[in-house]
Structure 1
Amino acid sequence: MANFMDIHHGMKGITQEQLKEAHQADLAIESQEGVHFARAWADPDSGDVFCLSEGPSAEAVQRVHERTGHPADEIHPVPLTV
């Protein structure tokens, strides 16, 4: 499995509750694509949301996000961690 960091733009003003709801929506169906969303962060001022996941491919990560109504604008592989 590979790690990915994805970025969503245009979510200016997102609240803690909205971030939690979006993350929970991903968690509810992630296993259908063999993905696990580990964590999500948001900056309400800029509207950027970041998600850290593990999965078989960036496409699998995107499919989950698309099905839950918030497709990622960018998905980056993260091959090195400490």
Structure 2
Amino acid sequence: MDSIESAIRSILVTDLFVETPADRIGLDDRLRAELGLDSLGFVELRVQAENTFGVTISDDDFSPENFTSIRTVSTLVRDLRSRAQA
């Protein structure tokens, strides 16, 4: 398990109070439909991801496509990190 995915799971359970236990959240579980994240939860996830991973998520990147699942958020974080190093 990659540390980015583990950290996102932890944020969901610890900071956003998702009721599903971290070890039962799949990489492709949908954040809104399956985990019940609301619009405020997505904003909080954005802020927590920025703080945790040292990235800045622009309004363009803060899209439903990038915030569908743990997999899409972690892909975005990796992409932002590689862009920052380029």
TM-score of the two chains, using structure 1 as the length reference: 0.36
Greater RCO, CA 8 A, separation 6+: 1
**Whose strand fraction is larger, Structure 1's or Structure 2's?**
1
**Whose helix fraction is larger, Structure 1's or Structure 2's?**
2
TM-score of the two chains, using structure 2 as the length reference: 0.34
